[in-house]
A and B are shown apart, each in its own frame.
Chain A
Amino acid sequence: MAELSRDRGIVLRTQDHAETDRIAVLLTPRGRLDVLAKGARRLEGSGGAVLDPLHVVDVIHYRRRGLHLLKEASLVRTFPHVRGDLERATAALKALAWVVDLVPVEAPDDRPYALTLEALARLDEGLPPPVFTVAYLLRLLGVGGHAPHLRGCVRCGALAGLTWSPEGGGLLCVRCGGRGEVVPPRLWRSLDALARLPGPALARLKLAEEDLAAGIRLLEEFRAAQLGR
């Protein structure tokens, strides 16, 4: 019998595989982990029910031919108010899709795991979904070393005439060659606050809906540029 490993992780997504199997992508303190649960979709399959997105699970698995095969899975924590609300669950799942792009497979670093756990807990407690999305994505980019520069021009530090430059690393003033979308001071100050304020303070932030929507759009552009897509 191959050596057994034990990991705790957040289920990011699942994918049906073959006729009765399921692949679960987990975020663990040692990076992303893809686990193949043989027979998970059969009635007698073990762990199939708990391997669902937005669950925190303990998995016991072993490696065979480069695959992590699930032996056992048990539920550690769920986020009932996120899973039971269409808007919150949608925001959480869309944000977790970023983890798949930004966190490498089996690369020990517990920061993305801790950050995601904390963010989902805040969303579960009632943090508005758009605030969760922008704050979480900014922090996730930060722990991955991709944080956009949000305090003035990335080159000269100017605080006026700022535009969005995903390729340039964040805000770039027109004098330094910024040609992108103009970012009003209220918007970049809001983004900066969302990137830095501690969790409890986020819930007290009063932000305009259009700023949050614009923030999500700017971050999407930034991710695409940083990941070369």
Chain B
Amino acid sequence: MIEPLEELLAALSRLPGIGRRSAERIAFFLLAKPGEGKRLAEALAGLDRIGRCPQCGNFASDGLCSICRDPKRDGTVICVVARPWEIPHLERTGEYRGRYHVLGGLISPTKNVGAEDLAVAGLVERVKAEGVREVILALEPKLEGDLTAMHLLRVLKPLGVAVSQLAHGIPVGRDLESADELTLGRALKGRTPL
């Protein structure tokens, strides 16, 4: 195979979820439609302009991210996530109008990631400076997420801010019998009054 095509296939194959066959399909599509290839190349070149929001750690192209810049967002509520790519999922719910804070990971003693490696100090500063009344922890419901939540609760509670976390339980549309005992246990613990 010719060298530029081989390079394209190798680059595409490194992307998550794309094997050699998918890479070939994409490459031949781009070869057949040169305009699409140019558009993709321009979009990829634009990645250099994407950085991090200095306030919340979300992806941003120029200074503050669109959420931190938006005056209609409720600045008294902060939703804490581990990574920036979790924000679009929460945004799609249409249920949240507050702001975000990206920690940059989760506490993991086995991977030598401690609280000092995460953006916890920045969160504390924001809570103090921005008149925040509630912090919502949207962290993965597994041990690393739980350890991070425990640490955040410890540093945030003395500031007098309300701390809540996303409900854990049975996914909407699933059968009760298909839920494992842990999920069901957490759902029972976090039941809500009707």
A residues contacting B by CB (< 8 A) are: 13-14, 18-19, 43-44, 47, 49-50, 52-54, 74-75, 78, 83-86, 89-90, 93-94, 96-97
Residues A52 and B142 in contact, CB atoms below 8 Å apart: yes
- Given A19-B17, A43-B174, A97-B110, are A86 and B180 neighbors across the interface (CB < 8 Å)? no
From 140 to 194 in chain B, residues with beta carbon under 8 angstroms from any chain A beta carbon are 141-143, 146-147, 150-151, 154, 171, 174, 178, 180-183
A19 lies within 8 A of B180 (CB): no
Q: Name 25 A/B residue pairs within 8 A (Cβ), A-sorted.
A: A13-B110, A18-B16, A19-B16, A43-B171, A47-B180, A49-B183, A50-B180, A52-B142, A53-B143, A74-B180, A75-B180, A75-B182, A83-B146, A84-B150, A86-B147, A86-B151, A89-B109, A89-B143, A90-B109, A90-B147, A93-B109, A93-B110, A93-B143, A94-B109, A97-B110
- What chain A residues lie within 8 Å of B16 (beta carbons)? 18-19
A49 contacts across to B, CB distance below 8 A: 141, 180, 182-183
Contact yes or no, A52 B109, CB < 8 A: no
- Which residues from chain B sit less than 8 Å from chain A, CB to CB? 16-17, 108-110, 141-143, 146-147, 150-151, 154, 171, 174, 178, 180-183
Asked if A96 contacts B110 (CB within 8 A), the reply is yes
Which residues from chain A contact B182 at a C-beta distance below 8 Å? 49-50, 75, 78
B147–A89 touching, CB < 8 Å: yes
User: What distance in Å separates the Cβ of B22 from its nearest Cβ neighbour in chain A?
Assistant: 13
- Residue contact A54 to B143, C-beta cutoff 8 Å: yes
How many whole Å from B137's CB to the nearest CB in chain A? 14
Chain A: CB-nearest residue to B173: A43
Question: In the assembled complex, how far is the CB of residue A179 from the closest CB belonging to chain B, in whole angstroms?
Answer: 30
**Residue ID in chain B nearest A48 by CB atoms:** B180
Bound Cα distance from A85 to B109, whole angstroms: 13
A12 to chain B, nearest CB (A): 8
Residues of chain A within 8 A of B141, CB atoms compared: 49
When chains A and B are docked, how far (Å) is the Cα of A13 from the Cα of B108?
A: 10
Q: Give Cα distance in the complex from A159 to B30, angstroms.
A: 77
Nearest A residue (CB) for B181: A75
CA distance A50 to B171 in the complex (A): 16
Residues of B within 8 A of A43 (CB): 171, 174
B110 and A94 contact, CB distance less than 8 A: yes
- CB neighbours (8 Å) of A90 from chain B are 109, 147
Partner of B154, one of A18, A44, A83, A86: A86
Residues of B near A96 (CB, < 8 A) are: 110
- Could you say which residues of chain B place their CB within 8 Å of the CB of A53? 110, 143
